[in-house]
Structure 1
């Protein structure tokens, strides 16, 4: 028995060293995955936090297994076809609806708010899941509810991310209905400006525009191409006379954290920050992934 324990000790040490090696290898792959193009050896080592000679050993093994390819002319390295197959397999095994629903539940339970999960349907943004708070919000919104594009927080998020070819017919219909109701014409220049703000800030805030006295904040779940897959929307009623409730910033922060977390799970990566070269975005993205995980 004692001999077995003694033999197990060295094995445990070797296993730990093996795990550390895998973690370093993942950093090498992350460096390549976060770059917009193939990278030279020294740059890969710098991004992975190891020496160029260490990076070379990892890259040599990765090349043999098809994880990495090397350009013959430049000597630079990029991801290989095996990683592409891994990515496709990972996406096929990822249940976006479940991940989004779990994120919705966490937000609503943290703030005791009513929340919706919306997807793009035949008639526009459509609620496919509802999480109610412990108190009534005084609205008949529910499963199957369809939201307007230009008068709801959910709709504006879709409008900000979908191609015009998809949204233009619905916008035309909404503007015509508004005209028949005698409402003032919609300022499309202002709507486009709001969409730019939504893309930049990552969320939309609607204060009593769609349903009187009911406000909403919404944020997108984006796929690996940056296309909107779904939208999480929180609905609430602010206290009268309070233009900027103290907990609104906290709600927005959690909403963004959860929706961006789901987006990363399906392959989305945040774009470079304003004025930041794409090459410098790679370590920042890696740090954000580590923080989320």
Structure 2
């Protein structure tokens, strides 16, 4: 067999071993041999032979008390290195470009900066009337959709001072007068899994939607945003626009290692 042909065929035993690891990852807990074999669709005797080798290289470990198998220390190290090397902003930019192509709306990516949420990238749709979003724009917590996402899912001690400043300055929406009002609104955002503003947006004539993106620690890391001319975006809870936004945010969260249970189609 030529070297080129052998390279194309790959190493079957390695692929089988990776199939066992995939089955264990999918189980999301330590597993008995019979469960691993069933998930990997192979006889237990065959699965056991591969598990012995995987244990030797540190990809799997076995609890001597329960006989259950789990992901080993070397596998965990590989995962941590992969997470560390992920460029979350690059992945976020790809996500908003794909979302723009799907829904043909202005999309943007917001992250938490030194002074609160900031837009780091936006994508222009293919339509005659659009809302321009300026990269580097800092967003209010109470009167922007992305701001509400950060205020809802970040720890209170990280956002409360800024919320109080917005309330004191009169820049909060007209229906939010007190800190209790703000937290009641943010609790609703968290229940819905999305922030939607139309009519009370920071910029007159503009409406926006935003969804949270979580990292491998299940902490908020970014917000995906849709911005449009007021009255032009379908803001209904079951609208295709909102479904696609939630799906995009959920998929990006999975890519970043999040294990949060999110209804991406609601």
For normalisation by structure 1, the TM-score amounts to 0.75
Deviations along 1:178-233, one digit per CA (max 9) or x if unpaired, are 289987514135224313314xx4x3222232233322111222111111211110
Aligned position for 2:95: 103
Q: Is the 8 A contact 1:153 1:218 kept in 2?
A: yes
Q: Is contact 2:20-2:36 (8 Å) kept?
A: yes
Cα RMSD, aligned residues only: 3.3
Other structure's SS at 1:170 match: helix
SS in 1 for 2:159: helix
3-state SS in 1 of match to 2:112: strand
1:15 is the counterpart of 2:27: no
CA spacing shift, 1:49–1:251, aligned 2, 3 Å: farther
The correspondence of residues 1-293 of structure 1 with structure 2, limited to 5 A, is 7=1, 15=9, 18-19=11-12, 21-134=13-126, 135-137=128-130, 141-178=133-170, 185-186=177-178, 187-198=181-192, 201=193, 203-210=194-201, 211-237=203-229, 239=231, 244=236, 249-271=239-261
Tell me, in whole angstroms, the C-alpha distance in 2 between the residues paired with 1:240 and 1:122. Answer: 33
Greater relative contact order structure (CA < 8 Å, 6+ sep): 1
Distance 1:218 1:192 in 2: 13
Aligned residues of 2:143 and 2:173 also touching (Cα < 8 A) = no
Unpaired segments of 5 or more residues in structure 2?
A: none
Q: Report the structure, 1 or 2, having the larger helix content.
A: 1
Unaligned runs of 5+ residues in structure 1 are 1-6, 274-287, 289-293
Q: How many residues align?
A: 259
> In structure 2, how many angstroms separate the alpha carbons of the residues matched to 1:62 and 1:78?
11
C-alpha separation in 1, matches of 2:173 and 2:215 = 37
